[in-house]
Chain A
Amino acid sequence: MSERAKPILAATWVGFLLSIPFWLDNPYLLHVLIVTGIFIIAAMSLNLLLGYAGQLSLGHVAFFGIGAYASALVSLGFKVTLFPDWVLVVEAKPVWLAMLAGMLAAGASGWFIGRIAFKVRGAYFVIVSISFVEVVRLVAVNWVELTQGPMALNNIPPLEAWGFTFLRKPANYWLVLGVAIASYVLIRRLVYSRAGRAMVALAENEPLATSVGIDVTRYLVLAAVVSATMAGAAGALYAHYVRIVDPDVFLFIYTVTMVIMVITGGKGTLAGPVVGGLIFGLLPEGLRAAAIAPEAQWIVYGVLMVLVVYFLPQGIVPALTKGRG
């Protein structure tokens, strides 16, 4: 692919995506695209941590959920008793501020995970990351005073910005598309830079990387923080689009979905999570149209994952680009 053609192709693709709400009449499909878009943002963020920095983090949905809850709570306002006699009251804030709070909260937990990743390696880190999500989920279920537990936070206000309310589907679609494009650009900048090279170097050959001065903690934490903040943004978008958030958002199955998207699309590539996200975001709809039970769907996913690992271990995107190379 010539260097000249790439920007034109990208512009065409973006133009096509922008145009969809104008001609797609089906509100349900638009909803599917919006949710898929949100998942793609989360998958791109996971790709940074899993695909580039090589951290086997299986707790990614924790960042997504923390972003969703934090943003929802700040936009609704909350009251919680922290110690006997000390009640914390936060008044409802404008949604854009709440979303930033969500991203900040997610980023902070990313910092925490990043520091752990430095100490705890390999398969142990996998276990820690899963445990972390479960603890967060159980807190969300049990700390009813703050999160309403299983009864969910509802009536979450939609985003209002520049005098415009993002209530209807087309508006949310463009919002998600905008954030997705911005996320893609951010990751691209990071990957083609000194910081991105440092992360990849650490993942590929850590002793060699440190021998030329690359600080392990600094870059693992950076990868985790950027990744978590982006996932938190996706979570915040989700909270103010769907406008209900309950502890099920932390279920392991959603982390698995993101992992499947990244791995089948191609970890460590920019296009991988997008391709994987489109496939696994839209596939359920195709299967549902064919009247296949949800359990059977998941069996298909499971088998698909195994097959991809066997036959396309690098994922779909590298398999396609290698042919062209």
Chain B
Amino acid sequence: MDQLLQHGLNALMLGGTYALLGIGLTLIFGIMKVVNFTHGELYAFGAYMMYALVMLLGVSFFVALPLAIALGVALGALLELVLLRRLRGADIDTTMLVMIGAWIALQNAEQLAWTGVAKSISTPFPAAPLVIGPVSVAWNRVFVLVVALILIGVTYLLINKTKLGRAMRATFQDRDTAALMGVRIGNIHTATFALGSGLAAAGGALLGPVFVAYPSMGDLAAAKAFAVVILGGLGSIPGATLGGFILALVEELGAGYVSSGYRDAMGFLLIIVILLFRPTGLFARKERVG
């Protein structure tokens, strides 16, 4: 029972980050219909920015975090403007290929810049874990969960309570009508991609200090993000949130009770099985985003 509780706690932290990754991707996937292969690279970017800011420039941890996220937003906006604008209206294969090209270029640029050696990022939290009865949890993991939940809440409010969010939801539902009603689709796309990328960078900025930063860390993160999108249904923030936590729980339990080597396979197997039975995702709600 204690072990179960411990697994559950571990899953919470991972789940929060998976949810962030998934929400970012589901918005991009849902609103822009783009299979965003660069999502993992933004995650890695967030982690590396934390490294650069905290370890190389000596910036305070709590200042570096929002800064790293902001940089992620900026990179996302840049990518959209440079790469995707021209492809408005192109079919899904074309954008997919451009995204793959960008992913390759980005990951190898990161490898060139930081070399393959894993980088660790120090945090200001006490090393001794917080002990609550039979279970213990490290302080930095608690921090990750809290920040993740805050970011999820902020995103939800952004999508559902602001004018920008309303425009994004309209674009998701019916792009042509939204355009006719005065929504600047180009700006919405840039905003969506920037937001999604920022969330991915946030995931990396949060988890980087917990584990380490290395160039191909984005690949696994991207795969988890896709699994979460499938679980939660396209365009659904609550779905992606729930999906993130479910995936983390399945992984933790699988690793604990079945085999740790296959931990990462859990997500993939889950995707395949779900899509076999529900070809558009578990909680697919085609009508609205938010």
Contact = CB atoms under 8 A, between A and B. Distances in A.
Nearest to B112: A295
Contacts, number: 119
A131 B268 contact: yes
A218 B104 CA distance: 35
Contact of A124 (B101, B111, B267, B281): B281
Contacts of B104: 253, 256, 298-299, 301-302, 305
A41 B271 CA distance: 30
A119 B279 contact: yes
B268 A135 contact: yes
Interface in B250-272: 259, 261-262, 264-265, 267-269, 271-272
The bracket for how many chain B residues form the interface is 35 or more
Contact of B92 (A56, A119, A301): A56
Contacts of A304: 101
B99 to A, nearest CB: 9
A296 B86 contact: no
A123 B92 contact: yes
B86 A302 contact: no
A135 B97 CA distance: 23
A80 interface: no
B105 interface: yes
A142 B279 contact: no
B272 A128 contact: yes
B279 to A, nearest CB: 5
B74 interface: no
A120 B268 contact: no
Contact of B261 (A142, A263, A301): A142
A56 B261 contact: no
B90 to A, nearest CB: 8
B101 A305 contact: yes
B108 interface: yes
Contacts of A135: 265, 268-269, 272
Interface in A194-220: none
B279 A120 contact: yes
Interface residues of A, number: 39
A132 interface: yes
Contacts of B275: 116, 119-120, 124, 127-128
B96 A293 contact: no
A47 to B, nearest CB: 13
B230 A302 contact: no
Interface string B196-236: 00000000000000000000000100010011001000000
Interface in A270-311: 293, 295-296, 298-299, 301-306, 309-310
B276 interface: yes
Given A120-B275, A135-B268, A305 B219 contact: no
B280 A296 contact: no
Nearest to B265: A138
A116 B262 contact: no
Contact of A126 (B96, B101, B102): B96
A182 interface: no
A259 interface: yes
A304 B280 CA distance: 33
B105 A123 contact: no
Given A123-B35, A298-B108, A309 B92 contact: no
Contact of A306 (B83, B230, B261): B83
A126 B87 CA distance: 19
Contacts of B279: 119-121, 124
B43 interface: no
Nearest to B269: A135
Given A138-B261, A302-B108, A303-B105, A127 B226 contact: yes
A134 interface: yes
A142 B113 CA distance: 32
Given A124-B230, A131-B223, A295-B111, A142 B268 contact: no
A122 B112 contact: no
Interface of B: 29, 33, 35, 83, 86-87, 90, 92-94, 96-98, 100-109, 111-112, 219, 223, 226-227, 230, 259, 261-262, 264-265, 267-269, 271-272, 275-276, 279-281
8 contacts: A56-B93, A120-B279, A123-B33, A134-B223, A134-B268, A135-B268, A138-B265, A296-B112
Given A120-B279, A131-B269, A304-B101, 11 more contacts: A116-B275, A123-B29, A124-B279, A134-B223, A138-B268, A252-B219, A253-B104, A302-B100, A302-B106, A303-B105, A313-B90
Smallest CB-CB A-B distances: 9 pairs: A302-B105, A305-B101, A302-B104, A131-B268, A142-B261, A306-B101, A295-B108, A138-B265, A298-B108
